[in-house]
Structure 1
Amino acid sequence: MNTIQPGERPGMSSHAAARLLRPASIAIVGASPTPGALGASVLANLERNDYRGRIYLVNPKRDDINGRPCVKSIEALPADVDVAVLAIPQPAVLDAVRQLATRKVGAVVIFSAGFAEAGSEGIAQQQEIARIAAEAGMLVEGPNCLGCINYLDRVPLTFIETDVSPAQAQRSASQPAIGILSQSGAMMAVLNTTLTSRNLPLSYAVSTGNEAASHLEDYLEFLLDDSGTRVVAMIAEQFREPRRLLDAARRAREAGKLLVLLHPGRSAAARASAATHTGAMAGDYSVMLTKVERAGIVVAQTLEELGDIAEIGLRCARLPGRGAAILGESGAFKALCLDICDELDLDLPTIGDHDAPALRAAMPPFVALSNPLDLTAQGLVDPELYYRTLSALFDDDRFSAVVVGLIQTDPVTCAIKMPPVLRAVRELRPQKPVICAGLDEGAAVPPEYIAQMRELGIPYFPGTERALRAVARLSKLSTRDFTETVFEPVAADLPHRGGVVPEYQAKRILAPLGIPFARGEFVTSLDAALLCAQRIGYPVALKVQAAELSHKSDVGGVILGVDGTEALRAAWTRLHDDVGRHAPAAALDGVLIEAMGARGLEMIVGARSDPQWGPVIMIGFGGVTAEVTRDVRLLPHDLTREAVVREIGRLKGAPLLHGYRGAPALDVEAFADVVVRLGALLQSEPGIREVDLNPVVVYPRGQGVLALDALMLVGAGEVLD
């Protein structure tokens, strides 16, 4: 048998996952008759849910528990038990895992904490668990997890009290369901409660804990192969195999399954290197978000959103696309919705008398057509107004979803307004999702109406802002361009030694790829500088060159607009004096002499190859204030030129590019070309960690762009082949 080193982990097979999640035999190590003890809780869950497989109890001090026989040790277990649950203290776990491996147990669930999260000794123990599991071909869930629940077969391998009713299991098996994957056991339990309280069928719930020998990506692949799971709701603070996640997301998209992710950490300080603007501004969360959205995952920002998006994804036969209609009963509600939708960038197509004849015919003359549509209180006088209005909205192809906001007030008003809404969906069978939301959370809504909505595939939310946020997140799926550009291979003459590549070397590498730079030369003496300036023409810029001075202007290492021989002599002396004073230990390579470029609009473009997630590109408005203004967008590296142009147009300062206040329109296409070329470079040269072009001066259309500064980070200190 091959020896597995710490940190190595072969992929988890579908068979191994099935032994954990659909076991025919279960051993409880640390079984106990004491109510509240972990082993007692697991056994009670299995008995309460009428588990029909074989149960083996391990307790050295008892002959039986609840009439079930106990064995004294793991060695006394039969060979090849599907899953063993370790309900024992942390110090006993490692030895138990060793013994279970010798008994050829298929999977192990470890509840105990005190491993990687507890310091170096715990890390070493967790690594040993991973090694044992890998060599034995044994799946380990945890440690520090809450276990898992199979709702289809009523198998709760958790110490949290769980009651899967036969009716719920039957419904989950016969209808599409939601699978739950969470690194946090507590959040798994919370999400289970949230979704089951809405009468949503679940397939599986898994808490992965510390992920010593199985990762969230493993269970995701299992759920993608499960025909009954249509939506997967995930809570993850870290992905250990991001590229497997992205591959799984593409598979899910092709299979018509929805992946929804809650990823805490968007406010955390970026861990990236500060050697370039790109590293400082493209933090880990932003890179993750760019990549997972590109792959088709919907990202929620709150636990509430996660549940709401998953509910719409499961209940509605189709997901909201571009263009939503909002139906309400208040002018103030209309204004609030306009504010929220503007913040969410949720498209609300305009409607009026001239382009919505069916809707106009359904309305009383005094109700103005708009989106959101305010029916006023007329619906209480004429309840059929809801039916007629919805009928017209269902037939209007401009809307891919309809959100109905109702003032519920009391059961009497609910009995007037809700029946025509329900009847419209039941009889007209719209080919678009209908979402209902109350304006007055806490109103006494008769539960039978909510139950009827859910049976008809209408998600119901107690607040309209929740509904709009979920619709907005889902609608963006329809606007994403999943086309991946396949670039021709690009070869760059990279240095053999990794680390920061100073400007003069970076420009030598990038210029042959079509990145436009100013005319200039690298020099190491004043005489050479004078000859260079004479050749390229005054005025010139002087820029000190050193790998350790990535931000040259901070140490007085940049002098601009030097015009004439004597001015150059003086600037040369001042440059070296200033750098010597501010960075006396810096080893200088020399000075870059460049012709001064014409003024234009300063932008920034950077490329980063994240070691886990792969390449991304950052665009934005640049110059020395780039990190302050942060008007930037992070993009996938493989967008087409046309897609890059669209993304440039989404920057806050984009009007400056299109002839603002009479200024000429700028060469956005030339700027997009630079972005595409950097994307091709990073795809071909994984040894490049970062490229930073700041500023890139954009000139009027047809006149191109000019990158004034360039910096690269290669191999993060490694020697490249």
Structure 2
Amino acid sequence: GNMADVSETELLRAWGDDSESRVILIYVEGLPDGQEFMQVAREVSRKKPIVAIKSGVTASGSRAVSSHTGSLAGSEAAYKAAFQQAGVLRAESMEALFDFARAFAYQPLPRGDRICIVTNAGGPGILATDALEHANMQLPHLSSGTVEALTSSLPGEASVANPVDLLGDASAQRYEMALELTLKDENVDGLLVIITPQAVTDIEETAHAIGRVVKNTDKPVLACFMGESRVRAGIDLLQEYGVPSYPFPERAAEALAAMNAYVRAQQVPQEKIERRDVDSDTVRQLFDRVRSEGRVSIGDSEARGILVAYGLPVPESRLAKTPEEAIKIADEIGYPVVLKIASPDILHKTDVGGVKLNLGSAEDVRDAFDLIVYRAQRYVEGAYIWGCLVQEMVPKGREVLVGMSRDPQFGPLVAFGLGGIYVEALKDVVFRVAPFGAQEADEMIHEIRAYPLLDGIRGEPRADHEAMVDSLLRISQLVTDFPEIVELDINPLVVFDEGRGAVALDMRLILAPAGESGSQE
């Protein structure tokens, strides 16, 4: 009980080599060692499907998990990322968990996402169509040969498109003929057969007909026998033939989508994570100094050294302790410039009015310096003020966020999303557990809702995709190299047009206190 001596990961490793099982189901409350789980799951999911359901995804559910087993539930974002990276399929309910399991256990995997529907009722066929498309499955056009064969064999009122509607008076023989023809079609990767009990429907004989066809195909066939007690005998017969039946077309469609998701995951080659050439010694020295001073927060002026050490471009900037120094630096950098408050006690500079943009003259710099320092001292009483950071004004680009928070179970959880001041309101952010490779970084960029803005809309040039991938990989390496990093935000990372790179404008970083590590024990 409560994983006293056996964990999910150990069972996973054992069942991965079990020749008597075709699919593994997991109920997860918490994982003591998330990284080990991911490593084992990656290996096992290459052998057979793993379907998991995670409880404790809400705040109340998380508290219930803690009181139940004493384990941390972990963040929903971390589990979503970890399951995806490890090839684990996620079921959102116990019903879906067993729906997926039956499909994997009894039917062959599809070669692709093209599904044909055969039905004796138009309504359920349309619902199945909607469900499959919502699950990102395809309803292909049947080949001309299949259409001609169906047309010559079916009543004139029948539909020979996909879905194939056999009409309410469809016999078992009509079903058998339609299934054989559609399953032979090269445009079809799998089939969903629907039956509703009507006046002349022979449920048992139709189940036998489906079973005979399934014996002679290597494509998955799922059934939807609607009608509960009136179709129970047929469902029992289908079970003998190894054909899962679902009471509603939506559930069958979700099971087919799960099978396709597993196949697609297997087609992605396992990535080798390549390390970049970085200066980790400089970062180590900075962290040691900050922690020796009893601090855990690192603001923009200090963080520049970290970014440079890990190969992330930053705008030219220097620290000024007085207005006169700021003017001298601005003259050397060239106008216009930006002024930012520099203080280890102020991480969110815009919240205290600590940033001034587009300063075009010495007078503007002097006035901005005095105003920024005054606001910082007023709004953050007792804050230690180093001065102001004078920074070159960077050209306009797309603003994105690259961040990290350390999950207690999975470790460094890297975030990517639309940046700027609206990131918390829009919550257009995706996550991956570090370390990861270029393929995962590329998928992160494509997964945010705002991706069309990065890809270029209405004639706008595409943002530099390669620069975003490179930035994600460098941050992944940084937070893996230094487990004492608890939180990190680069916001914004300004991404220019394709081929022109990206610049990290602002970064804040939180360390674990001296003597502690942010990594899981």
Contact persistence 2:418–2:429 (CA under 8 A) = yes
Query: Pick from 210, 231, 238: which aligns with 1:445?
Result: 231
Q: Are residues 1:699 and 2:500 paired? A: no
Counting matched residue pairs gives 492
Relative to 1, partners in 2 of residues 1:535 and 1:680: Cα closer, same or farther, differing over 3 Å? same
Query: Pick from 361, 377, 395: which aligns with 2:184?
Result: 395
Contact persistence 1:403–1:437 (CA under 8 A) = yes
Relative to 1, partners in 2 of residues 1:491 and 1:616: Cα closer, same or farther, differing over 3 Å? farther
Query: 2:257 corresponds to which residue?
Result: 472
Task: Give distance in 2, aligned partners of 1:718 and 1:294.
Answer: 31
Q: Secondary structure at the match of 1:578?
A: helix
Q: Secondary structure at the match of 2:22?
A: strand
In the TM superposition, residue 350 of structure 1 has moved relative to its aligned partner by 2.9
Q: Secondary structure at the match of 2:370?
A: helix
Query: 2:70 corresponds to which residue?
Result: none
Query: Pick from 526, 536, 539: which aligns with 2:336?
Result: 539
Contact persistence 2:13–2:44 (CA under 8 A) = no
Query: 1:47 corresponds to which residue?
Result: none
The amino acid of 1:477's aligned partner reads: Y
Query: Pick from 238, 241, 247: which aligns with 2:33?
Result: 241
Query: 1:506 corresponds to which residue?
Result: 303
Residues 523-534 of structure 1 mapped to structure 2, 5 A cutoff: 523-534=320-331
Q: Secondary structure at the match of 2:402?
A: strand
In the TM superposition, residue 482 of structure 1 has moved relative to its aligned partner by 5.0
Relative to 1, partners in 2 of residues 1:376 and 1:625: Cα closer, same or farther, differing over 3 Å? farther
Task: Give distance in 1, aligned partners of 2:250 and 2:196.
Answer: 14
Relative to 1, partners in 2 of residues 1:314 and 1:680: Cα closer, same or farther, differing over 3 Å? same
Residues 492-641 of structure 1 mapped to structure 2, 5 A cutoff: 492=280, 493-494=282-283, 495-496=287-288, 497-498=290-291, 499-641=296-438
Q: Secondary structure at the match of 1:445?
A: helix
Query: 2:66 corresponds to which residue?
Result: none
Task: Give distance in 2, aligned partners of 1:675 and 1:668.
Answer: 11
Task: Give distance in 2, aligned partners of 1:262 and 1:720.
Answer: 30
Contact persistence 1:321–1:476 (CA under 8 A) = no
Q: Secondary structure at the match of 2:23?
A: strand
Contact persistence 1:387–1:424 (CA under 8 A) = yes
In the TM superposition, residue 367 of structure 1 has moved relative to its aligned partner by 5.1
Relative to 1, partners in 2 of residues 1:406 and 1:605: Cα closer, same or farther, differing over 3 Å? farther
The amino acid of 1:684's aligned partner reads: D
In the TM superposition, residue 315 of structure 1 has moved relative to its aligned partner by 1.6
Q: Are residues 1:483 and 2:270 paired? A: yes
Contact persistence 1:410–1:444 (CA under 8 A) = no
Query: Pick from 114, 138, 143: which aligns with 1:348?
Result: 138
Q: Secondary structure at the match of 2:447?
A: coil
Task: Give distance in 2, aligned partners of 1:593 and 1:265.
Answer: 47
Highest CA radius of gyration, 1 or 2? 1
Higher relative contact order (CA 8 A, sep 6+): 2
Q: Are residues 1:304 and 2:95 paired? A: yes
Relative to 1, partners in 2 of residues 1:581 and 1:262: Cα closer, same or farther, differing over 3 Å? same
Query: 1:358 corresponds to which residue?
Result: 146
In the TM superposition, residue 213 of structure 1 has moved relative to its aligned partner by 4.3
Relative to 1, partners in 2 of residues 1:249 and 1:531: Cα closer, same or farther, differing over 3 Å? same
Relative to 1, partners in 2 of residues 1:330 and 1:554: Cα closer, same or farther, differing over 3 Å? farther
Query: Pick from 679, 690, 693: which aligns with 2:476?
Result: 679
Query: 2:116 corresponds to which residue?
Result: 325
Q: Are residues 1:406 and 2:406 paired? A: no
Instruction: Indicate the structure with greater helix content.
Output: 2
Query: 2:68 corresponds to which residue?
Result: none
The amino acid of 2:194's aligned partner reads: G
Query: 2:65 corresponds to which residue?
Result: none
Instruction: Please list the CA deviations of residues 560-596 of structure 1 after superposition, one character each: whole Å capped at 9, or x if unmatched.
Output: 2222111111111111122222211322333222112
Contact persistence 1:689–1:716 (CA under 8 A) = no
Task: Give distance in 1, aligned partners of 2:253 and 2:54.
Answer: 20
Q: Secondary structure at the match of 1:350?
A: coil
Q: Secondary structure at the match of 1:547?
A: coil
Query: 2:67 corresponds to which residue?
Result: none
Relative to 1, partners in 2 of residues 1:245 and 1:567: Cα closer, same or farther, differing over 3 Å? same
Relative to 1, partners in 2 of residues 1:417 and 1:380: Cα closer, same or farther, differing over 3 Å? farther
The amino acid of 1:708's aligned partner reads: L
Contact persistence 1:410–1:443 (CA under 8 A) = no
Task: Give distance in 1, aligned partners of 2:256 and 2:111.
Answer: 6
Relative to 1, partners in 2 of residues 1:686 and 1:398: Cα closer, same or farther, differing over 3 Å? farther
Task: Give distance in 2, aligned partners of 1:715 and 1:295.
Answer: 28
The amino acid of 1:422's aligned partner reads: G
Query: 2:106 corresponds to which residue?
Result: 315
In the TM superposition, residue 529 of structure 1 has moved relative to its aligned partner by 1.2
Query: Pick from 217, 241, 245: which aligns with 1:460?
Result: 245
Relative to 1, partners in 2 of residues 1:298 and 1:437: Cα closer, same or farther, differing over 3 Å? same
Task: Give distance in 1, aligned partners of 2:408 and 2:510.
Answer: 13
Relative to 1, partners in 2 of residues 1:651 and 1:521: Cα closer, same or farther, differing over 3 Å? same
Contact persistence 2:204–2:237 (CA under 8 A) = no
Instruction: Please list the CA deviations of residues 317-349 of structure 1 after superposition, one character each: whole Å capped at 9, or x if unmatched.
Output: 4367544333334444344334433433x3215
Relative to 1, partners in 2 of residues 1:248 and 1:649: Cα closer, same or farther, differing over 3 Å? closer
Task: Give distance in 1, aligned partners of 2:328 and 2:272.
Answer: 44
Task: Give distance in 2, aligned partners of 1:221 and 1:643.
Answer: 24
Q: Are residues 1:293 and 2:84 paired? A: yes
Instruction: Please list the CA deviations of residues 127-183 of structure 1 after superposition, one character each: whole Å capped at 9, or x if unmatched.
Output: xxxxxxxxxxxxxxx2xxxxxxxxxxxxxxxxxxxxxxxxxxxxxxxxxxxxxxxxx
Contact persistence 2:400–2:492 (CA under 8 A) = yes
Q: Are residues 1:436 and 2:233 paired? A: no
Task: Give distance in 1, aligned partners of 2:219 and 2:316.
Answer: 58
Unaligned runs of 5+ residues in structure 2 are 63-73
Residues 144-163 of structure 1 mapped to structure 2, 5 A cutoff: none
Relative to 1, partners in 2 of residues 1:694 and 1:455: Cα closer, same or farther, differing over 3 Å? same
Q: Are residues 1:266 and 2:57 paired? A: yes
Query: 2:213 corresponds to which residue?
Result: 424
Relative to 1, partners in 2 of residues 1:319 and 1:239: Cα closer, same or farther, differing over 3 Å? farther
Q: Secondary structure at the match of 1:649?
A: helix
The amino acid of 2:145's aligned partner reads: P
Contact persistence 2:171–2:201 (CA under 8 A) = no
Query: Pick from 284, 287, 291: which aligns with 2:75?
Result: 284
Task: Give distance in 1, aligned partners of 2:352 and 2:401.
Answer: 21
Contact persistence 2:326–2:366 (CA under 8 A) = no
Task: Give distance in 2, aligned partners of 1:485 and 1:716.
Answer: 33
Q: Give aligned-pair identity as a percent.
A: 26
In the TM superposition, residue 445 of structure 1 has moved relative to its aligned partner by 0.8
* Superposition TM-score, scaled by structure 1 size: 0.63
Q: Secondary structure at the match of 1:380?
A: coil
Task: Give distance in 2, aligned partners of 1:446 and 1:410.
Answer: 16
Contact persistence 1:434–1:458 (CA under 8 A) = yes
Q: Secondary structure at the match of 2:511?
A: strand
In the TM superposition, residue 675 of structure 1 has moved relative to its aligned partner by 1.5
Contact persistence 2:330–2:337 (CA under 8 A) = yes
Task: Give distance in 1, aligned partners of 2:513 and 2:157.
Answer: 68
In the TM superposition, residue 639 of structure 1 has moved relative to its aligned partner by 4.6
